[in-house]
Homo-oligomer: A and B are copies of this chain.
């Protein structure tokens, strides 16, 4: 291996015995062999290893290498696209959000395992899936005693680093040193006898501030100087503001009737523009002393922290827009006592989500009249991103809210259809659905009642009559969840054939 001479940026490697492991990114990438399973840091375009995968993509131009790539979630720095284009990614789990990788998934070139984000490391630990041969982990520092300090995400890094045969650490000297101490690394014991996870509030610290691995398994250290990508957050608009207002009104009623305290319950919000905008809206709400127990903190979380509305935020990653990135990273120390980053199997753990009674806010791609939700598959077949953590939270939360705009594709698609073309969340896991038009509170309702409330409150007027007509004709056939099976996907087929889900009545009969 080519050795790299330590320089000033090596100050972050405080265990001098490891200096000899510093190599170039190309050298480290040379450790990855064809057919390997590689576990890499990175969650919601945040904290991913950068230099080594870039070197691997370069190498693949002349030296074909295909791997199974496991991460926390999506990667920034165009890595999923580059690695897909260069043929490096053969199998990918548990999440992605890259347009080019998406194309290769949908054309069947890349095998993609879309997973509940709390489960990936558990599958590895229990032998359901091969453990990583190599882990590549971005770190803010290596401590005097060899502890790996993660950067802006923890994701599955702790699991990968402890399970992999070989560990490559990328030291990123450009992330704030203030990150050190913000992580809480807890790893559930192997079975058969595992202790309860002793976390009772979002604030609790139950683990170590660093990832501990046997130093001998750190086979290479690479110096990296790339930033995280900025989150591509769209601005809120009238629709997202309306959605936010519906949710605030609803939560106020819950507080008024004594079902929730004024500080609510710990909040989770999915990634993306709508969820971010909804959460930002809480800055104008009457609630105070709120906490978050989520998987990712977007701009909105810092809006709420800055507004004094949010007392504490726990997550697995921080992902920020271009406008907030420098500000938050520059003031990170100010948030020290109000932030913790955890492994995603803890941030999303069913045990904790259920215990805390979390209010979960996730985004639907489409939903149906009975309240089943499709979060992933466009027209039932084509993968958009993945289910992410939405299932971990929706299933086990105290209150599961799904949000979406009532129409998409310039008004040619209704988000509310007779039957979703793919089910990610069944009606059991969907308590409340909100569009810009209104909120459907589905708690305590049977499917036929849910349909009426959903159509009345959430349907776009262009499709409301058609939906009512479908529901009526379905009820005439009977059933707990009445359907007219031969018409269930007629609207989807119409969109495919004509570019529009035909509006009111034109399609029925």
A residues near B, CB below 8 A?
A: 91, 105-108, 111-116, 119, 122-123, 126-130, 188, 191-201, 254, 257-259, 261, 265, 349-351, 354-357, 372, 376-377, 379-383, 387, 391, 395-396, 398-399, 421-424, 426, 428, 431, 443-446, 448-449, 474-475, 477-483, 485-486, 488-489, 492-493, 496
Contacts and interface: CB of A to CB of B under 8 A. Distances in A.
Given A477-B381, A480-B381, A351 B355 contact: yes
A111 B193 contact: no
A478 B381 contact: yes
A257 B127 contact: yes
A54 B197 CA distance: 45
Given A192-B265, A193-B200, A194-B355, 20 more contacts: A106-B479, A111-B445, A112-B446, A112-B480, A113-B444, A122-B398, A127-B254, A128-B399, A188-B355, A196-B196, A196-B351, A351-B355, A372-B423, A381-B483, A381-B485, A391-B426, A395-B395, A422-B481, A485-B489, A485-B496
Contacts of A116: 428
A197 B105 CA distance: 41
A207 to B, nearest CB: 15
B351 A108 contact: no
A426 B424 contact: yes
A209 to B, nearest CB: 22
Nearest to A484: B381
Contact of A383 (B127, B191, B257, B480): B480
A483 B431 CA distance: 29
Given A200-B194, A426-B423, A126 B259 contact: yes
Contact of A191 (B107, B258, B265): B265
A261 B191 CA distance: 10
A446 B191 contact: no
B191 A356 contact: yes
A488 B421 CA distance: 10
Contacts of A196: 196-200, 351, 355
B191 A200 contact: no
Nearest to A350: B350
A201 B197 contact: no
Contacts of A381: 474, 477-483, 485
A478 B382 contact: yes
Contact of A105 (B192, B355, B480, B486): B480
A128 B431 CA distance: 9
A483 B475 CA distance: 27
B382 A485 contact: no
B428 A481 contact: no
Nearest to A126: B398
Nearest to A427: B114
Contacts of A351: 196, 350-351, 354-355
A351 B199 CA distance: 12
A191 B398 contact: yes
Given A191-B398, A201-B192, A485-B492, A128 B478 contact: no
A106 B178 CA distance: 60
A480 B106 contact: yes
B191 A195 contact: no
A122 B108 CA distance: 42
Contacts of A126: 259, 357, 398-399
B443 A108 contact: no
B261 A192 contact: yes
14 contacts: A114-B480, A115-B428, A127-B254, A127-B257, A128-B399, A129-B444, A193-B201, A196-B199, A377-B481, A381-B480, A391-B426, A421-B485, A423-B423, A489-B489
A380 B483 contact: yes
Nearest to A201: B193
A480 B428 contact: no
A450 to B, nearest CB: 10
The 5 closest A-B pairs by CB, nearest first: A381-B479, A196-B196, A383-B480, A127-B259, A423-B423
A356 to B, nearest CB: 7
Contacts of A481: 377, 380-381, 383, 422
Contacts of A188: 355
